[in-house]
Amino acid sequence: MKVWKKFSAVALALVMVLALGAPAFATAAAELNDGTTTEQATWKGEAGTFASPDAITSQDKTLNLKKEITAYNVDTTTIKAPTISYTYTIAPATVTSGTTVSDKTDKHNPNGSVEVPVTDGVGTPTIANDGVVAWTTSDSLNAGTDGVANTKDIAIDFSSVVFGAPGVYRYAVTEALTTDYTYASSGVTETSKVDTSDTNNLHIRYVDVYVRASTVTTATDALSVFNDGSTAKEWDIYGYTCFYKNQSITEKEEADTNDKSTGAVKTTGFVAGTTDGTESNKIYADSYYTFNVTVSKSIENDNYAKENHAFPFTVIFTNSAVNQNIDISSTVNGTINEEGAFKDPAAGALSSTKGVVPLNDSESVKYIGIPCGTTVDVYETNDLTGATYKVEAVVDTTTTTDNSVISGTAPTDAVAQAMDGTDKAHAYESTKVTVTTTADVDDDTDHSVAITNTLLNISPTGVTLRYAPYLAMMGAGIVALPLTLRKKEELF
């Protein structure tokens, strides 16, 4: 009897578990696809007409196009994003007379050839977030030598549109920069095409929306009755195709892909694409070209400075065109923490961006994600009074040497530095070098500034300053020694 009770309890528990788990195993509703896969519903009926499938769950009516920024950096996989904001609008497109969808491939109809007229869009679809898609310095971009795509969604909602009849409806999606933004002010390179005369299509994408009568499943699994089509809920969007230029999508004997097309360039939105797979017909995405600069310090023939002193550096980033916020990140090699003197350049306009860093021997700092077109000036201060150095600066592969730099003497092109972030500046600088880059161009150079100070001589003042404390202690010891010995004698 006890065994039977235990068996019944176990069976009841299994039934409850399966009942709770049933929803997890239910068939999911078909997802709205972008017209580039074979997951679309079968088209039925004669050319030019559509018939509703016998039973299929109503689909979401949100289309997600993509906006791409391609990020370039020679050796870093992640950089800070620029500050840029786009606004998108959608409107019914006027279709060229006679334009049709005709395809023997799997792009529109997996089960046969269909030819139907494409008509002008209807209604007023909306775009999420008032059509705004933006990047800020709090965003990160994946980057690489050959460029890495970074995308955000442009979510277009058709839930309030009454189509009135099955068919294919065409819309135009237009991109513009939000007020107060320009490409140059953000450090971003605008979408371009080799055929620069084709300016009207650079910021427009067309979307063909595939519509059928809705068959909504009720709570009791009974299909609702399709009435007169006068309400939005009585229409389903079961597929769409996004493409470049307002033209027909023509018939092909082979699969129609993004890189091979005799008609429109199919794409997922405002992203890179090509008409025939060749560079000459490529459409580019907006691009963000960046570079890095590593600043390093070495000391020769001066063991005191090598062990005890950090030379102050000021790194100034100048790009008068960029007045939107830019955030330049950094990595360090060494301690670089002299009483908190190290300061990353704060996010802001590049015309006023500065980083300050004290560098000991063999230490370095790497500034990452600087927009191309920016000039980087590196100033080093020799602040050990009374010492004369030979200073060698290697910028990338170019070496410059100043054979006699006396600490405390400023060159004519020096600028004031403030190590503590105030207006109080050092009165002397010894070395200035510059890294320059070209805007709107991919920079494949891993830039570096390596500065070596070799001690030539020390003035008497310099000796006194460096060793006076030690000499004083030695003198005190010499004076104290006889007194100690006399005291010792008195004790014995």
* CA-based nearest residue to 155, from 74, 229, 63: 63
Q: Which residue type sits at 338?
A: E
Please report the pLDDT score of residue 200 as a whole number: 60
Rounded Cα distance between 107 and 309, Å, is 68
pLDDT of residue 473: 54
Q: With H, G, I as helix, E, B as strand and everything else as coil, classify residue 42.
A: coil
Task: Give, for 475, the enclosing helix (H) or strand (E).
Answer: helix 460-491
- 90, 127 Cβ separation under 8 angstroms: yes
* Rounded Cα–Cα distance for residues 229 and 166 (Å): 10
Tokens 């002299």 correspond to: 338
Does the pTM surpass 0.85? The reply is: no
Strands (E), 181-305: 204-213, 235-244, 265-267, 269-270, 273-274, 282-283, 286-300
Question: What is the per-residue pLDDT for 354?
Answer: 86
pLDDT in tens, the chain (492 residues): 544 444 444 343 333 322 222 222 222 223 343 333 333 333 333 333 333 344 445 567 899 999 999 999 999 899 999 999 999 999 999 987 666 665 444 444 434 445 667 899 999 999 999 999 999 999 999 999 999 999 999 999 999 999 988 888 999 999 999 999 999 999 999 987 656 666 666 799 999 888 887 765 444 333 444 567 788 888 888 788 888 778 776 544 444 444 344 456 678 899 987 655 555 567 789 999 999 999 999 999 999 999 988 888 889 999 999 999 999 999 999 887 656 678 888 889 998 788 888 899 999 999 999 999 999 999 887 777 777 788 888 999 998 876 656 555 444 444 444 444 443 334 445 578 899 999 999 999 999 999 999 998 775 554 434 554 444 455 555 555 555 555 555 555
Length of the chain: 492
- For residue 394, report the phi and psi dihedrals to the nearest 5 degrees: -110, 110
Do 153 and 129 form a contact (C-beta atoms < 8 A)?
Answer: no
pLDDT at 295: 97
| Cβ-Cβ contacts under 8 Å for 275 (sequence gap 6 or more) | 261, 265, 281, 283
The residue with tokens 């792009």 is: 107
Q: What pairs with residue 115 in β-bridges?
A: 102
Identify the pLDDT of residue 336.
78
CA 274 – CA 233 distance, rounded (Å): 37
- Report the pLDDT value the prediction gives residue 430, as an integer from 0 to 100: 59
Beta partners for residue 266, in sequence order? 243
> At 18, phi and psi to the nearest 5?
-65, -40
